Amino acid sequence: MRQSIQLYEILKFFERKKPGLKGARRSPQFSKR
């Protein structure tokens, strides 16, 4: 379950780079996980 933490960290990193969760909307894979 260490991968889950890594994915979460990546999502947080993207959120900091692009406020508004715009990056997550572009990547449905990240949004689903």
pLDDT tens string 1-33: 577 888 888 888 877 776 555 555 565 555 555
Domain boundaries defined on the chain? 2-32
In this predicted structure, what is the pLDDT of residue 31?
52
Structure pTM? 0.38
In this predicted structure, what is the pLDDT of residue 19?
57
Tokens of 1: 């379950």
- Whole-number Å distance between alpha carbons of 21 and 31: 9
SS (H, E, C) the chain: CHHHHHHHHHHHHHHHHCCCCHHHHHCHHHHHC
In this predicted structure, what is the pLDDT of residue 32?
55
